[in-house]
Amino acid sequence: MGQDWQNPQYEYYRQQRRRILLVLVVLIVGATAFAAFWLLRRGERSEAAAPSAGGVPVRTASAPPSVPDGAADAPGTRLGDVAPDPAPAGGDASPGGEETRQPVASGGVDDFDARKALALDLYRRNELEQALVQVQAALALRPDAELLELQARLRQEIRVQRNYDGARTANFVVLFDGYEHDEIKYVVLGILKDAYAEIGQELDYFPERPITVILYTAKDFTEITQAPVWSGGLYGRLDGKIRVPVQGAEGQEATLRRVLFHECAHALLYALVPDCPLWLNEGLAQYFSGDEPVNVGQAIPLTLLVGGFPRDARLAQVAYAESLQAVSDLVDEHGMSRLRRLLDELGAGKTLEAGFAAAYGDPFSRWAAQWRPVSGGNEEEEPSGQAGNEG
């Protein structure tokens, strides 16, 4: 029998308190376990982020990202403005607070080759400042005579073209001194349009990428190209650009037409046949520019004009005349289709001997030994301004 003073609800309240204490214990144990698990995971992530003293090497980019077409034409820039030095490899904060990422040079063979290839590609696209950045980055990895020469050339061209203007069509980009050449730029564009259509139709070839044409003053042309004084223009094999000295609009149309047709022919021929024999290349360039053959006989064996022309101005003129006569005779006797066949064979990798035999039936050496230039109506002329070819 219970005590009179005992509360009948006592046992009920005591059980409730036990349940509450049990719930609190479970919550405390659970919170402690979660905290311990979180601290353990955090420690593991920290160890993974920081390699040990002999840790795994950091993987670096083997080549920088390609610069997209048209980067030099972005609003707010002018042709010739020197680009700022790239940020350090780790990435400095930009003025807007975003990290600027730059490729990290590993110093390996692949990285050097990639930077050199990118520099040459940028140079061909006339993105001079970006090309110079890549040249300097490649030279920091390894000395290279070709890149040292390109570095000097880039610095010269950036200085000369600093304030040049540009005009663009579907097939050409023309760069010019706005003060010196503003009047003649439309004449140049018209001639280039004609050259592209006529020569492209004759060769049955039209390049996909626009051709860059740079109009210089005579002083700038000589400084940039180091061409002979008799050179009326130049096509650069290294960068695929046509360079022409132009003095003014008045009285220049006929000369410009001849020179621009000549150099456009070089641009198309080198795209078709990178190792085109020089006599064939120069002969066709003169043929398409409308030059008249001058019969000088075979004063220099044609086989000697496959890889180069003499530096002497008069001998060079003889070499040009022979080359034009040889091409004219081939076209007159066999037609342009046979000559295009020869270009196709050479472009496919055949030697001149084999390609000539496939197109004309005889190896080149046998034909050249038997060739007697067809007598023309013109006599030999004194050397004059002849459009040249670089490389």
- Please check whether residue 171 is in contact with residue 211, taking contact to mean a CB–CB distance below 8 angstroms: yes
Window from 51-60, 101-110, 179-188 with minimum mean pLDDT: 51-60
Closest CA to 164 of 184, 152, 181, 150: 181
Question: How do the domains of the chain map onto residue ranges?
Answer: 104-160, 163-271, 273-391
CA neighbours closer than 13 Å in the CB half-sphere of residue 283: 25
Q: Facing residues of 244 across strands?
A: 215
**Quick check: helix, strand or coil at residue 344?**
helix
Which residue type, as a one-letter code, is found at position 295? N
Assigned fold of 163-271: Glutaredoxin (3.40.30)
Question: 361: Cβ–Cβ under 8 A, 6 or more apart, which residues?
Answer: none
pLDDT in tens, 321-344: 999 999 999 999 999 999 999 999
Question: 277: Cβ–Cβ under 8 A, 6 or more apart, which residues?
Answer: 305, 306, 307, 346, 352
Give me the chain's average pLDDT, please.
Answer: 76
Q: Which helix (H) or strand (E) holds 245?
A: strand 241-245
| φ/ψ (deg, to 5) at 248 | 175, 175
Window from 125-139, 232-246, 271-285, 364-378 with minimum mean pLDDT: 364-378
Closest CA to 63 of 10, 150, 162, 137: 137
Average pLDDT over residues 3-31: 61
Between residues 231 and 111, the one the model is more confident about: 111
Q: Is the pLDDT of residue 101 over 70?
A: no
- Give 83: exposed, middle or buried? Use CB within 10 Å, 0-12, 13-18, 19+: middle
pLDDT in tens, 20-63: 767 676 677 667 766 666 666 555 444 443 333 333 333 223 33
Would you state the structure tokens that stand for residue 194, as one six-digit string? 């004609």
Instruction: Give the chain's end-to-end CA distance (angstroms, integer).
Output: 124
Going through the chain in order, the beta strands assigned E by DSSP cover: 165-168, 172-176, 211-216, 234-235, 241-245
Q: For a pLDDT cut of 90, what percent of the chain falls above it?
A: 47
pLDDT in tens, 227-269: 766 678 899 888 899 999 887 656 778 888 999 999 999 999 9
